[in-house]
Amino acid sequence: MGIRENEDADIAAKTGLDVAITNMRFPVGDLSACVNQLCVKEWQQLWNQCTSNKLYSVQPVVGCSVSSSLGRYDSVLINRLRIGHTRLTNLISYWERVNLYVKLAILCSQSSTFW
């Protein structure tokens, strides 16, 4: 006396033993397409949980690339521009840090307290 669902599964498995094995061939491309679809679906579900990520607002759908017909260099260039990660933004943040350090140095030299 067991669990009814397990008994049904056992019966179904045993009936499969009586079926003749065939040498049916199918294109590997069919299998890889299904695997790719499954991977992209799982990836999208994970990505949908990352809505607070700044990159999610740039590209909410995974696997699709706007610049897929471009070369690697051009594609990287466009993606860096889209997310605002360029040498110009790095330079601006560098000068903001330098400006902050200069202000701190001026305040410290004017103050009678030392670190």
pLDDT one-digit tens code per residue, 5-25: 788 888 888 887 877 777 777
Model pLDDT for residues 44-83, shown as the tens digit of each residue = 999 899 888 877 877 788 876 665 677 888 877 777 777 7
Q: What percent of the chain has pLDDT over 70?
A: 86
Distance of alpha carbon 14 from alpha carbon 3, whole angstroms: 17
Task: Report the predicted TM-score, pTM, of the whole model to 2 decimal places.
Answer: 0.43
∠ at Cα 36 (31, 38), nearest 5°? 95
| C-alpha triplet 6, 11, 13: angle, nearest 5° | 95
**Is residue 115 predicted with pLDDT exceeding 70?**
no
Under a CB-based contact definition with an 8 Å cutoff, are residues 78 and 97 in contact? no
Q: What is the DSSP-derived secondary structure letter of residue 15? A: H
Q: Which helix (H) or strand (E) holds 41?
A: helix 28-48
Decide which of 108 and 50 is more confident. Answer: 50
